[in-house]
Structure 1
């Protein structure tokens, strides 16, 4: 009954149901996560994490637990529950199929490889953002939010052994890529495609929501670009996995580069923002567009409901 009702509901209302379901699951698992930290590590450590005091050696394993329980699990669970409980065609929403040309893995790899200059350009532009004087309070909150997120990330990414690096590649690279792609490209983008009816608009709106979700405002533009690239990977292929692959490559590369820099194996700071020149920015943008066109052409070699304009759900 519920599946039939939701199937007959407008995409706008489906989107509302999706957001409410995600919010409920997110709050539930955040409560569970905080309770588990208090149970296993003590509430004093929980209070220290809240104050961004990471001096306790148990802080990092506690942060791992928080990351998995309060973020990774709800991000993955929400679209899966929505698709299998509230829709008659869950696979059409989640797009878990592996039936797409193998060349798409390779093309997605080169898109991510060549995107670095363009990401740097957008990041540099984003860093120059200044709000009007009457929004000083909001700007101050945005900077504090950015700094707090950076301090938490830096605490997790303190890696002393190869095992620490592998662990972060798995957690931040692999699990996060799966969870976020299933939520944003598997669930949200599908609903927005049915609602807006304009693929490019739906992809970029999803990418903007994806970027805003991270609450890192001075990295909004580069993350939105990445979200759009992942969106096109899914839309053209009809599968979530090329986007998961691209997302994994982006995150895992950052983790590995950070580890190598910490171990003084490389001299280039992964956080450096003035590596490329203007012609490399242009080259990056042009090649990405070309590769996306090639990706689309290769993907069109098979029947793709998304490309044929078929509504899902």
Structure 2
């Protein structure tokens, strides 16, 4: 992977499991700081009385005029400080620069950002089929009690989501766009694609395992079993967009398009501009889904063809081993013909004996 500076042997010499543990600690610490900052903002914006009643307000936000704004603060700020700040601190704590760590390809061509956003939007009809299937999924009779509890939990969460996405003013829509689309796109992509994917790829020696495992963690952490598989697939698409483009901004743009377009549809529906149920789990017509699937597959293939091809420095190669990333000079003793794993912008490649290392 070509970075803006030479990769030192110590850059990735910490075991991936330890990096992930460090990430968890930093995210939890960031969440604690974020909750404190959010509480201070509640007091500053809504007054001391609202701050003293914040627990009651959060439990039933629809019963307080300040409920919507306070809930948005309590969701957005901890997410930004926790997942966003925590992920950014992972390279900083290890003495690395966040820019090259998350964006080895600088700058990224503009078409990547546009294509990533278009890809997510045109995939929605095809994705609706998977959403409908997952929402109506039934578990074996032996797990009926768990299924009932999971549906009850998700129904309660949906009530809160419905409350947060009621836009009686345009300013509310803009606030929701910031909290529900912009902040998650930044914070979650830094965490799940920028750190988790990278470390799983190092750990397993495969970018594909890195993409799928990070997508599974991404979906599971949302604690929504009856939406697990659509979010898993979304995580996979975001993972490959990051791996192929070599820049975290691309997956951020796609993530923003996913959440932002959903909010826009809800806003237009509530204004009576469209009759489409943007919050439903019904599958769109098969003709729409089929066309959507074909266009989505075509765009993915085209983006794969445009993937980042790193230029290789002539004097050294960066080989990922169990001890981390080692630098091997071109004039060093030739390595045995056993395949090694070379970290590139689109993952970890295994060169064949007759193929030079990247």
Which bracket does the TM-score occupy, shorter chain normalised?
0.7 to 0.9
Shift in Å, 1:276: 2.2
Q: 1:19 to 1:71 in 2, by over 3 A?
A: same
Partner of 2:207: 199
1:217 paired to 2:225: yes
Pairs within 5 Å for 1:18-33: 18-30=23-35, 33=38
Specify which of 50, 63, 73 is matched with residue 65 of structure 1. Answer: 73
Pairs within 5 Å for 1:133-282: 133-274=141-282, 276-282=284-290
Specify which of 10, 19, 22 is matched with residue 14 of structure 1. Answer: 19
1:306 paired to 2:332: no
Partner of 2:64: 56
Partner of 1:44: 53
State the alpha-carbon separation in 2 of the partners of residues 97 and 41 from structure 1.
46
State the alpha-carbon separation in 1 of the partners of residues 29 and 11 from structure 2.
18
Q: 1:138 to 1:75 in 2, by over 3 A?
A: same
State the alpha-carbon separation in 2 of the partners of residues 116 and 69 from structure 1.
28
Q: List gaps (5 residues or longer) in structure 1.
A: none
Rg larger in 1 or in 2? 2
State the alpha-carbon separation in 1 of the partners of residues 39 and 145 from structure 2.
29
State the alpha-carbon separation in 1 of the partners of residues 34 and 273 from structure 2.
39
The structure with the largest strand share of the pair is 2
Q: How many residues align?
A: 308
8 Å CA contact 2:129–2:283 kept in 1: the answer is no
8 Å CA contact 1:101–1:299 kept in 2: the answer is no
State the alpha-carbon separation in 1 of the partners of residues 306 and 165 from structure 2.
37
Pairs within 5 Å for 1:284-299: 284-299=292-307
- TM-score when normalising by structure 2: 0.77
Q: 1:170 to 1:69 in 2, by over 3 A?
A: closer
Q: List gaps (5 residues or longer) in structure 2.
A: 1-7, 313-343, 351-358
State the alpha-carbon separation in 2 of the partners of residues 131 and 43 from structure 1.
43
Shift in Å, 1:133: 3.5
Deviations 1:180-233 (A, max 9, x none): 111111111111111112112211111111111111221111111111111111
Specify which of 100, 103, 121 is matched with residue 113 of structure 1. Answer: 121
1:129 paired to 2:137: yes
Give me the CA root mean square deviation. Answer: 2.8
